[in-house]
Amino acid sequence: MAGALRRLAGTQSCSQYLLLIAVALAIFGSCYLKPGIQKLRSTLSGPSTVVRKMHSLQIIKLWQLVYPQPDVLTPSRGDVLVVTPWLAPIIWEGTFNTKILDHQFRLQNATIGLTVFALGSDVSCLRVFLETAEMFFMANHRVNYYIFTDRPDSVPDVSLQPGRRTVVLEVPGLAGGQNASTQRMQLLSAFSRERFQREVRYLVCADVSSKFSNHVGVEILSSLFAALHPGYLGRSRKSFQYERRPQSQAHIPKGQGDFYYTGSFFGGSVLEVYRLTRACHEAMALDRANHVEAVRRAESHLNKYLLAHKPTKVLSPEYTWDARMLERCGEAQAQVLSKITKQIKFTTWREKDQTPE
């Protein structure tokens, strides 16, 4: 009997404890959950953006454009390589639909920056460069032309499309040779970090001694893009003018290399252009301190960087053409180049050697 009473007393005691705990939780819960008392310190614990904005969702009308159905059994180009071994597309004329790309790009509401150096006598090339860019470069998209020059008063006044502007960036005249190449990479790196990242989403870096000859649009844009040098098309990498001396930071050992990229046309997101130009500037500065000059200066360092940091898009030689090259190369190579080139887009027009010996 006594044992039964003790068990009963224990049961009543446990019940009382449980009752007290339940009351405490009820009081705590009512206070904690009362509006105005609970303060969220992080939006991560709140409702998702989708849920919060559900009441303001609008019906999006399907964009209407009639175009041929893509067929995986019918390649757009069967005469050239259209994708790299690391699955980056190689952009050739005939492999994309401009209207589709333009529509998708407008959804980003982005501005593109085009940088060019017009120093010393090169300022005379600016008018052709800008006027042809207005005709063919990123038509109907917002563009900032960033002109690095030591002669700001000589920058021509070119009529621009709506949404475009010219930004003149006055810089001191650069010394010749490797110093000039180093300083250009330094300026691109510094302005990417300090200014360009606030004003544009993509940067395209081009040579002022060239002109736009046909449509160059958003098909080229990617995180990091580079253009194939037309002078090395179809050649073995043994003939590439990589820097082969181990003393240089641009050194690429024999037996290595993907393509040979030109230094006259490259770009990508502002962040990736900053990383590329900073790395090239630092490598060139180290070479200079060691009294070494890469065989193709900045272009050699560009190729070294792109070997380790693969571009996410590769542009065909149609984007960096030199018409005189056909006169210098052999007849067989000239026929191949003429056959696969559907549309010349960006052309060297001033006397400048871009063809390997």
Tens digits of residue pLDDT in 188-211: 999 999 999 999 999 999 999 999
- Report yes or no on 76 lying in a domain: no
DSSP 30-72: HHHTSTTT---S-GGGS--HHHHTGGG--PPPPPP---PPP-T
In the sheet that holds 224-228, the strands lie side by side as: 90-91, 313-315, 224-228, 261-269, 202-206, 111-118, 142-149, 164-170
Contact call for residues 339 and 116 (beta carbons, < 8 A): no
| Statement: residue 346 has pLDDT above 70 | yes
Is 299 considered catalytic here? Answer: yes
- Report yes or no on 167 lying in a domain: yes
- Report yes or no on 356 lying in a domain: no
90-91 and 313-315 strand pairing: parallel
CA distance 55 to 39: 24
Question: Hey, what are 36's tokens?
Answer: 């105005």
Spatial CB neighbours of 194, under 8 Å, sequence gap ≥ 6: none
User: How buried is residue 201: exposed, middle or buried, by Cβ count under 10 Å (0-12/13-18/19+)?
Assistant: middle
| Set 299, 318, 331, 351: catalytic member | 299
CA distance 179 to 71: 51
How many whole angstroms from its chain centre is CA 123? Answer: 26
Q: Mind listing the pLDDT tens digit for each residue in 104-158? A: 999 999 999 999 999 999 999 999 999 999 999 999 999 999 999 999 999 999 9
- Report yes or no on 56 lying in a domain: no
- Report yes or no on 324 lying in a domain: yes
CATH at 240: 3.90.550.10
Q: Mind listing the pLDDT tens digit for each residue in 269-287? A: 999 999 999 999 999 999 9
What is this structure's pTM?
0.79
Element (H, E) at 337: helix 331-340
- Report yes or no on 65 lying in a domain: no
> Other C-beta atoms within 10 Å of 146: how many?
24
Q: Mind listing the pLDDT tens digit for each residue in 303-332? A: 999 999 999 999 999 999 877 776 666 676
- Report yes or no on 272 lying in a domain: yes
- Report yes or no on 318 lying in a domain: yes
For 231, the domain range is 90-348
> Other C-beta atoms within 10 Å of 162: how many?
6
CA distance 263 to 63: 38
Contact call for residues 146 and 113 (beta carbons, < 8 A): yes
| Statement: residue 176 has pLDDT above 90 | no
Structural domain total, the chain:
1
